[in-house]
Amino acid sequence: MKHILLEIKGAVGTLTIDRQDALNALNFEVLKELSETLDSLDFNRVNCLIIRGAGTRAFVSGADIAEMKNFSVEEGHNFSVLGNNVFTKLDSLPIPTIAAVCGYALGGGCELSMACDIRLASESAVFSQPEMGLGIIPGFGGTQRLAVLVGVGRAKELLYTGRRISASEALNIGLVNAVYPTEIIFEEAEKMAQRIAKNSPTAMRAVKKAVNKTYFSDLHTNVEANLFASCFETEEQRAAMEAFIERTIAKKEKEKK
Ligand code: HXC
Protein backbone atom coordinates (compact mmCIF):
# COMPACT_ATOMS: atom_id res chain seq x y z
CA MET A 1 0.00 0.00 0.00
CA LYS A 2 1.31 3.44 -0.90
CA HIS A 3 -0.96 5.60 1.23
CA ILE A 4 -2.50 3.37 3.91
CA LEU A 5 -0.77 1.91 6.92
CA LEU A 6 -2.45 -0.66 9.17
CA GLU A 7 -0.93 -1.35 12.58
CA ILE A 8 -2.38 -3.79 15.08
CA LYS A 9 -1.77 -3.61 18.84
CA GLY A 10 -3.62 -6.23 20.86
CA ALA A 11 -7.16 -6.23 19.47
CA VAL A 12 -6.96 -2.62 18.17
CA GLY A 13 -6.17 -1.75 14.59
CA THR A 14 -4.98 1.72 13.59
CA LEU A 15 -5.45 2.69 9.97
CA THR A 16 -3.43 5.74 8.92
CA ILE A 17 -4.05 7.66 5.71
CA ASP A 18 -0.67 8.95 4.64
CA ARG A 19 -0.56 11.40 1.77
CA GLN A 20 0.92 14.30 3.63
CA ASP A 21 2.07 16.33 0.62
CA ALA A 22 -1.63 16.89 -0.15
CA LEU A 23 -2.75 16.99 3.50
CA ASN A 24 -4.03 13.41 3.14
CA ALA A 25 -6.53 14.34 0.41
CA LEU A 26 -8.56 11.43 -0.96
CA ASN A 27 -8.00 10.53 -4.59
CA PHE A 28 -9.03 7.35 -6.45
CA GLU A 29 -5.86 5.56 -5.36
CA VAL A 30 -6.31 6.35 -1.64
CA LEU A 31 -9.98 5.30 -1.74
CA LYS A 32 -9.11 2.01 -3.44
CA GLU A 33 -6.38 1.29 -0.90
CA LEU A 34 -8.72 2.20 1.94
CA SER A 35 -11.31 -0.22 0.56
CA GLU A 36 -8.76 -3.04 0.21
CA THR A 37 -7.45 -2.46 3.73
CA LEU A 38 -10.97 -2.65 5.18
CA ASP A 39 -11.50 -5.90 3.25
CA SER A 40 -8.31 -7.33 4.71
CA LEU A 41 -9.29 -6.85 8.37
CA ASP A 42 -9.45 -10.07 10.38
CA PHE A 43 -12.28 -9.64 12.88
CA ASN A 44 -11.11 -12.63 14.90
CA ARG A 45 -8.11 -10.50 15.70
CA VAL A 46 -9.25 -6.86 15.48
CA ASN A 47 -12.09 -5.76 17.75
CA CYS A 48 -11.88 -1.96 17.35
CA LEU A 49 -10.47 0.25 14.60
CA ILE A 50 -8.97 3.75 14.82
CA ILE A 51 -8.80 5.86 11.67
CA ARG A 52 -6.39 8.78 11.56
CA GLY A 53 -4.40 10.92 9.16
CA ALA A 54 -0.61 10.93 9.09
CA GLY A 55 0.97 13.91 10.82
CA THR A 56 -0.85 16.54 12.82
CA ARG A 57 -1.82 19.12 10.16
CA ALA A 58 -4.72 17.20 8.73
CA PHE A 59 -6.95 14.25 9.35
CA VAL A 60 -8.01 14.45 5.69
CA SER A 61 -8.30 17.73 3.74
CA GLY A 62 -11.08 16.40 1.53
CA ALA A 63 -11.39 14.80 -1.85
CA ASP A 64 -8.54 15.66 -4.21
CA ILE A 65 -9.50 18.90 -5.91
CA ALA A 66 -6.77 18.61 -8.55
CA GLU A 67 -8.14 15.21 -9.54
CA MET A 68 -11.78 16.37 -9.54
CA LYS A 69 -11.19 19.65 -11.37
CA ASN A 70 -11.77 18.35 -14.90
CA PHE A 71 -14.21 15.56 -14.07
CA SER A 72 -17.08 14.99 -16.47
CA VAL A 73 -20.53 14.38 -14.99
CA GLU A 74 -19.93 10.64 -15.41
CA GLU A 75 -16.54 10.73 -13.68
CA GLY A 76 -18.07 12.75 -10.84
CA HIS A 77 -20.75 10.10 -10.46
CA ASN A 78 -18.22 7.25 -10.45
CA PHE A 79 -16.05 9.01 -7.87
CA SER A 80 -18.98 9.63 -5.55
CA VAL A 81 -20.23 6.04 -5.90
CA LEU A 82 -16.75 4.68 -5.20
CA GLY A 83 -16.32 6.83 -2.09
CA ASN A 84 -19.84 6.17 -0.87
CA ASN A 85 -19.31 2.43 -1.22
CA VAL A 86 -16.05 2.59 0.74
CA PHE A 87 -17.59 4.75 3.48
CA THR A 88 -20.62 2.45 3.70
CA LYS A 89 -18.23 -0.48 4.04
CA LEU A 90 -16.53 1.38 6.90
CA ASP A 91 -19.86 2.24 8.49
CA SER A 92 -20.94 -1.41 8.26
CA LEU A 93 -17.81 -3.01 9.75
CA PRO A 94 -18.84 -5.42 12.50
CA ILE A 95 -16.52 -3.68 14.98
CA PRO A 96 -16.57 -0.19 16.57
CA THR A 97 -14.59 2.50 14.76
CA ILE A 98 -13.07 5.71 16.13
CA ALA A 99 -11.94 8.67 14.02
CA ALA A 100 -8.99 10.39 15.72
CA VAL A 101 -9.19 13.81 14.11
CA CYS A 102 -6.12 16.02 14.36
CA GLY A 103 -6.09 19.17 12.21
CA TYR A 104 -8.26 19.66 9.13
CA ALA A 105 -11.27 17.41 8.52
CA LEU A 106 -12.73 19.12 5.47
CA GLY A 107 -15.21 17.91 2.88
CA GLY A 108 -14.56 14.22 2.32
CA GLY A 109 -12.41 14.29 5.48
CA CYS A 110 -15.35 15.35 7.62
CA GLU A 111 -17.44 12.76 5.79
CA LEU A 112 -14.87 10.06 6.53
CA SER A 113 -14.95 10.94 10.23
CA MET A 114 -18.76 10.77 10.16
CA ALA A 115 -18.65 7.25 8.70
CA CYS A 116 -16.91 6.20 11.93
CA ASP A 117 -18.91 5.38 15.08
CA ILE A 118 -17.08 7.83 17.35
CA ARG A 119 -15.18 11.04 16.64
CA LEU A 120 -12.42 12.27 18.97
CA ALA A 121 -10.84 15.60 18.05
CA SER A 122 -7.66 17.49 18.89
CA GLU A 123 -8.05 21.10 20.05
CA SER A 124 -6.54 22.04 16.67
CA ALA A 125 -9.19 20.18 14.69
CA VAL A 126 -11.21 22.11 12.12
CA PHE A 127 -14.34 20.69 10.54
CA SER A 128 -16.19 21.89 7.48
CA GLN A 129 -18.18 20.86 4.45
CA PRO A 130 -16.75 23.55 2.13
CA GLU A 131 -18.06 22.02 -1.10
CA MET A 132 -20.47 24.88 -1.79
CA GLY A 133 -17.45 27.17 -2.31
CA LEU A 134 -16.17 24.74 -4.95
CA GLY A 135 -19.44 24.67 -6.85
CA ILE A 136 -20.25 21.13 -5.74
CA ILE A 137 -21.92 19.28 -2.84
CA PRO A 138 -20.64 16.60 -0.45
CA GLY A 139 -20.55 13.27 -2.27
CA PHE A 140 -19.42 10.72 0.29
CA GLY A 141 -22.63 10.56 2.36
CA GLY A 142 -22.16 13.93 4.08
CA THR A 143 -25.53 15.35 3.13
CA GLN A 144 -27.12 12.56 5.15
CA ARG A 145 -24.73 11.66 7.96
CA LEU A 146 -24.24 15.28 9.03
CA ALA A 147 -28.00 15.74 9.43
CA VAL A 148 -28.26 12.57 11.52
CA LEU A 149 -25.43 13.67 13.79
CA VAL A 150 -26.15 17.38 14.31
CA GLY A 151 -29.78 17.76 13.22
CA VAL A 152 -31.23 18.90 9.91
CA GLY A 153 -31.24 22.65 10.63
CA ARG A 154 -27.61 22.81 11.74
CA ALA A 155 -26.55 20.50 8.93
CA LYS A 156 -28.20 22.70 6.30
CA GLU A 157 -26.57 25.81 7.74
CA LEU A 158 -23.12 24.16 7.65
CA LEU A 159 -23.72 22.83 4.12
CA TYR A 160 -25.03 26.15 2.74
CA THR A 161 -22.33 28.31 4.31
CA GLY A 162 -19.41 25.88 4.20
CA ARG A 163 -18.10 27.66 7.28
CA ARG A 164 -15.32 26.07 9.29
CA ILE A 165 -16.02 25.08 12.87
CA SER A 166 -13.57 24.57 15.70
CA ALA A 167 -13.27 21.43 17.79
CA SER A 168 -15.16 23.08 20.65
CA GLU A 169 -18.09 24.06 18.41
CA ALA A 170 -18.06 20.55 16.95
CA LEU A 171 -18.31 19.24 20.50
CA ASN A 172 -21.17 21.63 21.33
CA ILE A 173 -23.26 20.52 18.37
CA GLY A 174 -22.56 16.81 18.89
CA LEU A 175 -20.37 16.31 15.84
CA VAL A 176 -17.53 15.04 18.03
CA ASN A 177 -17.62 13.04 21.24
CA ALA A 178 -14.62 14.59 23.02
CA VAL A 179 -11.78 17.06 22.49
CA TYR A 180 -8.20 16.55 23.70
CA PRO A 181 -4.98 18.56 23.57
CA THR A 182 -3.22 17.84 20.28
CA GLU A 183 -0.28 16.12 22.01
CA ILE A 184 -2.48 13.40 23.47
CA ILE A 185 -5.26 12.90 20.92
CA PHE A 186 -3.82 9.68 19.46
CA GLU A 187 -2.97 8.34 22.91
CA GLU A 188 -6.54 9.01 24.09
CA ALA A 189 -8.00 7.35 21.00
CA GLU A 190 -5.83 4.30 21.65
CA LYS A 191 -6.94 4.19 25.31
CA MET A 192 -10.61 4.32 24.37
CA ALA A 193 -10.13 1.72 21.63
CA GLN A 194 -8.28 -0.67 23.94
CA ARG A 195 -11.07 -0.31 26.51
CA ILE A 196 -13.80 -0.95 23.91
CA ALA A 197 -11.88 -3.85 22.32
CA LYS A 198 -12.12 -5.85 25.56
CA ASN A 199 -15.90 -6.19 25.16
CA SER A 200 -17.70 -9.15 23.66
CA PRO A 201 -17.36 -9.04 19.86
CA THR A 202 -20.83 -10.56 19.52
CA ALA A 203 -22.46 -7.97 21.77
CA MET A 204 -20.67 -5.08 20.05
CA ARG A 205 -21.62 -6.32 16.61
CA ALA A 206 -25.23 -6.55 17.82
CA VAL A 207 -25.37 -3.07 19.38
CA LYS A 208 -23.78 -1.47 16.31
CA LYS A 209 -26.26 -3.22 14.03
CA ALA A 210 -29.18 -2.14 16.24
CA VAL A 211 -28.15 1.55 16.14
CA ASN A 212 -27.17 1.57 12.46
CA LYS A 213 -30.38 -0.13 11.37
CA THR A 214 -32.36 2.85 12.67
CA TYR A 215 -30.05 5.72 11.79
CA PHE A 216 -27.71 4.72 8.98
CA SER A 217 -29.19 1.84 6.99
CA ASP A 218 -31.24 3.90 4.57
CA LEU A 219 -28.75 6.47 3.30
CA HIS A 220 -29.78 7.67 -0.12
CA THR A 221 -26.23 7.80 -1.35
CA ASN A 222 -27.24 7.16 -4.93
CA VAL A 223 -29.41 10.27 -4.84
CA GLU A 224 -26.42 12.19 -3.48
CA ALA A 225 -24.08 10.71 -6.13
CA ASN A 226 -26.40 11.80 -8.94
CA LEU A 227 -26.73 15.30 -7.51
CA PHE A 228 -22.98 15.52 -6.85
CA ALA A 229 -22.33 14.52 -10.47
CA SER A 230 -24.79 17.12 -11.76
CA CYS A 231 -22.54 19.89 -10.40
CA PHE A 232 -19.69 18.99 -12.78
CA GLU A 233 -18.98 20.54 -16.16
CA THR A 234 -20.55 23.76 -14.87
CA GLU A 235 -18.83 27.12 -15.05
CA GLU A 236 -19.03 27.58 -11.25
CA GLN A 237 -17.40 24.23 -10.48
CA ARG A 238 -14.61 24.65 -13.04
CA ALA A 239 -13.82 28.23 -11.96
CA ALA A 240 -13.91 27.51 -8.22
CA MET A 241 -11.64 24.47 -8.46
CA GLU A 242 -9.29 26.24 -10.85
CA ALA A 243 -9.08 29.12 -8.37
CA PHE A 244 -8.00 26.72 -5.58
CA ILE A 245 -5.25 25.24 -7.77
CA GLU A 246 -4.06 28.71 -8.84
CA ARG A 247 -3.98 29.86 -5.19
CA THR A 248 -1.78 26.96 -4.12
CA ILE A 249 0.56 27.46 -7.11
CA ALA A 250 0.84 31.20 -6.37
CA LYS A 251 1.52 30.43 -2.70
CA LYS A 252 4.31 28.02 -3.61
CA GLU A 253 5.93 30.54 -5.95
CA LYS A 254 5.79 33.24 -3.28
CA GLU A 255 7.41 30.86 -0.77
CA LYS A 256 10.23 30.12 -3.27
CA LYS A 257 11.11 33.84 -3.56
C1 HXC B 1 -5.91 18.45 -3.35
C2 HXC B 1 -4.99 19.53 -1.57
C3 HXC B 1 -6.22 19.51 -0.90
C4 HXC B 1 -7.34 18.88 -1.52
C5 HXC B 1 -4.77 20.51 0.36
N6 HXC B 1 -4.13 20.15 -0.77
N7 HXC B 1 -6.05 20.13 0.31
N8 HXC B 1 -4.84 19.01 -2.80
N9 HXC B 1 -7.12 18.38 -2.75
N10 HXC B 1 -8.52 18.78 -0.96
C11 HXC B 1 -2.72 20.38 -1.09
C12 HXC B 1 -2.46 21.81 -1.57
O13 HXC B 1 -2.74 21.95 -2.94
C14 HXC B 1 -0.97 21.92 -1.28
O15 HXC B 1 -0.26 21.22 -2.28
C16 HXC B 1 -0.80 21.10 0.01
O17 HXC B 1 -1.92 20.22 0.07
C18 HXC B 1 -0.80 21.97 1.26
O19 HXC B 1 -1.96 22.78 1.23
P20 HXC B 1 -1.91 24.37 1.45
O21 HXC B 1 -3.17 24.91 0.90
O22 HXC B 1 -0.63 24.91 0.93
O23 HXC B 1 -1.88 24.43 3.03
P24 HXC B 1 -2.56 25.50 4.01
O25 HXC B 1 -2.31 26.89 3.50
O26 HXC B 1 -2.12 25.13 5.38
O27 HXC B 1 -4.13 25.26 3.86
C28 HXC B 1 -4.68 24.04 4.26
C29 HXC B 1 -6.15 23.93 3.78
C30 HXC B 1 -6.23 24.19 2.27
C31 HXC B 1 -7.03 24.94 4.53
C32 HXC B 1 -6.62 22.51 4.13
O33 HXC B 1 -5.28 23.35 1.60
C34 HXC B 1 -7.57 23.93 1.68
O35 HXC B 1 -8.48 24.74 1.78
N36 HXC B 1 -7.71 22.76 1.01
C37 HXC B 1 -8.95 22.40 0.34
C38 HXC B 1 -9.97 21.95 1.33
C39 HXC B 1 -11.27 21.60 0.67
O40 HXC B 1 -11.89 22.45 0.00
N41 HXC B 1 -11.70 20.36 0.81
C42 HXC B 1 -12.95 19.87 0.23
C43 HXC B 1 -12.70 19.29 -1.12
S44 HXC B 1 -14.22 18.80 -1.89
P45 HXC B 1 1.09 21.83 -2.94
O46 HXC B 1 1.45 20.83 -3.97
O47 HXC B 1 0.73 23.18 -3.48
O48 HXC B 1 2.04 21.89 -1.77
C49 HXC B 1 -14.58 17.33 -1.17
C50 HXC B 1 -15.76 16.62 -1.77
C51 HXC B 1 -15.99 15.28 -1.17
O52 HXC B 1 -13.97 16.89 -0.27
C53 HXC B 1 -16.95 14.44 -1.97
C54 HXC B 1 -16.37 13.84 -3.20
C55 HXC B 1 -17.28 12.87 -3.87
Asked if residue 62 has its Cβ within 6 Å of ligand 1, the reply is yes
- Residue type at position 248: T
Q: Closest residue (by CA) to atom 6 of ligand 1?
A: 22
What's the pLDDT band for 256 if we cut at 50, 70, 90? Answer: confident
Asked if residue 80 has its Cβ within 6 Å of ligand 1, the reply is yes
Domains of the chain and CATH, by start? 4-183 (3.90.226.10)
- Alpha-carbon separation of residue 228 from 53, 64, 72, 142, 185 (angstroms): 25, 15, 11, 11, 33
Give the atom of ligand 1 at the shortest distance from the alpha carbon of 131: 44
Structure confidence by residue, pLDDT tens digits, 108-155: 999 999 999 999 999 999 999 999 999 999 999 999 999 999 999 999
| Active-site residue (options: 33, 131, 190, 224) | 131
Q: Check if 253 is active-site.
A: no
- Tell me the helix, strand and coil percentages in the chain, rounded to 5: 55, 15, 30
CB 189 within 8 A of CB 100: yes
Give the atom of ligand 1 at the shortest distance from the alpha carbon of 83: 55
Structure confidence by residue, pLDDT tens digits, 197-223: 999 999 999 999 999 999 988 788 889
Give the atom of ligand 1 at the shortest distance from the alpha carbon of 63: 52
pLDDT value at position 257? Answer: 83
**Share above pLDDT 70 across residues of the chain, in percent, rounded to a whole number:** 100
pLDDT value at position 209? Answer: 96
Query: Which residues make beta-bridge pairs with 52?
Result: 16, 100
- Alpha-carbon separation of residue 153 from 130, 146, 148, 162, 255 (angstroms): 17, 10, 11, 14, 41
Asked if residue 25 has its Cβ within 6 Å of ligand 1, the reply is yes
Q: Closest residue (by CA) to atom 37 of ligand 1?
A: 61
Nearest Cα to 186, choosing from 89, 124, 102? 102
Asked if residue 227 has its Cβ within 6 Å of ligand 1, the reply is no
Q: Which of 21, 31, 61 to mutate to test the pocket of ligand 1 (most atoms within 8 A of CB)?
A: 61
- Alpha-carbon separation of residue 239 from 99, 133, 213, 234, 244 (angstroms): 33, 10, 40, 9, 9
Q: Check if 111 is active-site.
A: yes
| Active-site residue (options: 111, 236, 246, 255) | 111
Mean of per-residue pLDDT scores for the chain:
97
| d(C-alpha 221, C-alpha 88), whole Å | 9
pLDDT value at position 26? Answer: 98
8 C-alpha to ligand 1 centroid (Å)? 29
230 C-alpha to ligand 1 centroid (Å)? 22
Q: What is the pTM of this model?
A: 0.98
Asked if residue 76 has its Cβ within 6 Å of ligand 1, the reply is no
- Residue type at position 63: A
